[in-house]
Structure 1
């Protein structure tokens, strides 16, 4: 069994840049396929969607904390729904925290892809483990604890036991899967506003409209703009690899 010092050395070493993983165009296509498999089919989405929801709610929570709000708690549910409760006397601060749910999975996904391609995959995993561990302070239900604990176990295992090139590959796949998940969730949100208006009370865009009087469509357009921007950033190194293999 490794000593605490050895574990600490392994963990701290994750924050140094490693060799850039050599990803061929075939591996890139397989990574894209893996991301789609994680985020599209119902069976895999049943599990991966929980991570996307956790990232969504952590986006709300981080925005609330950075705008000086009092964060009461985070609840994650097995049906892919979640709730982040915060308190503020400022409508601007409340709108700020409400806005950063849908864009954050795409932004985090793009960050993971960038880290994977630039030798920072282990650092991305280690930081994720720390953020998830900190979120325990705000979790308020059993499902949230279980989902978060499983995510911490996965990121910690990669940080401590997987070779850096492997972690780099995983970071790229995970980031792409979050980017696909962000698009999936945006389509679901749009469907609520077009066809399932009986569910508007659960829509962040509708809540933003109620708080600011700015139409929901404007907020959905802003979500879409940020998600598209994240895809553009992530696609730059991917396109280079695919073009080299063409």
Structure 2
């Protein structure tokens, strides 16, 4: 049947593995990602992607813990807000608060695992699906535009560009999530030290648990650095194999 044949072809396309990337691509995309995170102006623009992942983490955990999710707002200053209703304390609220700062790094680690298997097409299509799902939850114009632009870029790359461009885009994006997941934690620490974020996730967690805010900042950092280390091992597999350091 044509429908079944089409679905089979689509599934084969999504799950098929692309060739190993050139080692130079792995290195260059890592350098580009680090440069974007380190530079002030590029980071200011690209940080919206980290905010999308951050608020998406809050929203997903709220749904998983059966809290009532009211919506997500993304702002032009790269801040965001996820509103949910339910018990003001307890495991559901704690896990929802906990999910934000660790989401970009864990998302990057998941992406690194897919790229380690050269599942570039699957990675890009999953990204589009997640962005579309999140779009339903957006409650402000800037947030909707941010998701539409981001999703449109990913869709255009996956649909219209050659495999080499898709690979470069995918590796750069995942390196960015892994490296970019670390910087917001340091920004949180700096802002808290200046008394500018009294309602941060870390402060709210401190009010719900026996642990102080700095404990939670340290926990966020530990997860981000751990994901970066694990993701680096996954993403540099082809490079290490090329120089004879693995397998």
User: Above 0.5 in TM-score?
Assistant: yes
In the TM superposition, what is the alpha-carbon distance from 1:163 to its structure 2 partner? 3.2
Paired residues in the alignment total: 240
Q: Are 1:31 and 2:29 counterparts?
A: yes
> 1:221 is matched with which residue?
218
Gaps of 5+ in 1: 1-6
Secondary structure of the residue aligned to 1:169 is helix
Whole-angstrom distance in 1 between the partners of 2:139 and 2:235: 39
> 1:210 is matched with which residue?
207
In the TM superposition, what is the alpha-carbon distance from 1:40 to its structure 2 partner? 2.1
Whole-angstrom distance in 1 between the partners of 2:192 and 2:160: 45
Gaps of 5+ in 2: 1-5
RMSD: 2.5
Do the aligned partners of 1:75 and 1:83 also contact (CA within 8 Å) in 2? Answer: yes
Do the aligned partners of 2:105 and 2:178 also contact (CA within 8 Å) in 1? Answer: yes
TM-score by length of 1: 0.88
> 2:132 is matched with which residue?
133
Whole-angstrom distance in 2 between the partners of 1:137 and 1:192: 31
In the TM superposition, what is the alpha-carbon distance from 1:27 to its structure 2 partner? 2.5
Do the aligned partners of 1:192 and 1:200 also contact (CA within 8 Å) in 2? Answer: no
Do the aligned partners of 1:34 and 1:173 also contact (CA within 8 Å) in 2? Answer: yes
Could you give the per-residue CA deviations for residues 36-92 of structure 1, whole angstroms, max 9, x where no partner exists? 122221221122111110110000000100000000010000101000001112522
Could you give the per-residue CA deviations for residues 140-180 of structure 1, whole angstroms, max 9, x where no partner exists? 10110010000110111122123345323322211111111
Whole-angstrom distance in 1 between the partners of 2:31 and 2:85: 41
In the TM superposition, what is the alpha-carbon distance from 1:137 to its structure 2 partner? 1.6
Secondary structure of the residue aligned to 1:80 is coil
Q: Are 1:233 and 2:230 counterparts?
A: yes
Q: Pairwise mapping of residues 152-191 of structure 1 onto structure 2 (< 5 A)?
A: 152-191=151-190
TM-score by length of 2: 0.88
